[in-house]
A = this chain, B = another copy of it.
Amino acid sequence: MDFRTTFRPLTVQPEQIEQKSFQIIDDEIGEHSFAEQQYAIVQRVIHASADFELGKSLLFHPRAIEAGISAIRAGKKVVADVQMVQVGINKARLEKYGGSVHVYISDDDVMKEAKRLNTTRAIVAMRKAVKEADGGIFAIGNAPTALLELIRLVKEGEARPGLIIGLPVGFVSAAESKEELAKLDIPFITNIGRKGGSTVTVAALNALSILAERG
């Protein structure tokens, strides 16, 4: 492949773009009451969504960041609800600590069981995940049903996640599932309202692994 015919010098590098973006966010965010490490996550969520309202709607359990950093440094598994979340996560940083990212929603046994039970694959995937990723980080950006099932499993003592990042998006059950999550006294990062999604869930997780790396 010869790219030279169309070559033109370009000065803007990805690192410069990111730094400039963060500066704009700092300049425009206005008042907030996030702690320093929380703000590092808020900032990256805004960077990924260009949505200050969404970033400022984030809620952190008091132990969320400490627990997330510990789980990453201990090489605990990260569970993504959907493949879009899985592929967006920076694996190199997790792998340094022995960590890895898993998604169960398209597993053969999950699809088969969801059909048999006439329920969603997202729900069945969570039942599998809590068995395979004890103490791990659950990053849910798409399916409210996955988050609701995870909350149920926590309440019934069948799941002990290290951290839940619960940021599903949508009009049916998304806001409600996040309200339920915010009632739990276990480490969570979530937000108020309908907004969320795979890209902001990825942003939150990646921000956390940067914090873990910085020490």
Interface of A toward B, CB cutoff 8 Å: 1, 3, 6-7, 9-10, 12-14, 17, 20-21, 24-25, 47-51, 83-84, 86-88, 109, 113, 117-120, 123-124, 127-128, 131, 145, 153, 156, 158, 169-174, 193-199, 202
Contact = CB atoms under 8 A, between A and B. Distances in A.
Contact of A21 (B13, B113, B172): B172
B48 A6 contact: no
24 contacts: A1-B131, A3-B124, A3-B128, A7-B117, A10-B117, A10-B120, A10-B123, A12-B120, A12-B172, A13-B118, A17-B170, A20-B171, A21-B171, A21-B172, A24-B172, A50-B174, A50-B193, A50-B194, A51-B51, A51-B195, A83-B87, A84-B88, A87-B87, A169-B199
Given A84-B199, A198-B84, A199-B198, A49 B120 contact: no
A128 B86 CA distance: 26
Contacts of A21: 170-172
Contact of A25 (B48, B156, B171, B199): B171
Given A1-B131, A6-B153, 10 more contacts: A6-B127, A12-B172, A13-B118, A17-B145, A25-B171, A50-B169, A51-B51, A86-B87, A198-B198, A198-B199
Closest 6 CB pairs of A and B: A50-B194, A21-B171, A24-B171, A83-B87, A10-B119, A50-B195
Given A7-B117, A84-B87, A124-B3, A50 B198 contact: no
A97 to B, nearest CB: 23
Contact of A197 (B48, B86, B145): B48
A193 B51 CA distance: 11
A1 B171 contact: no
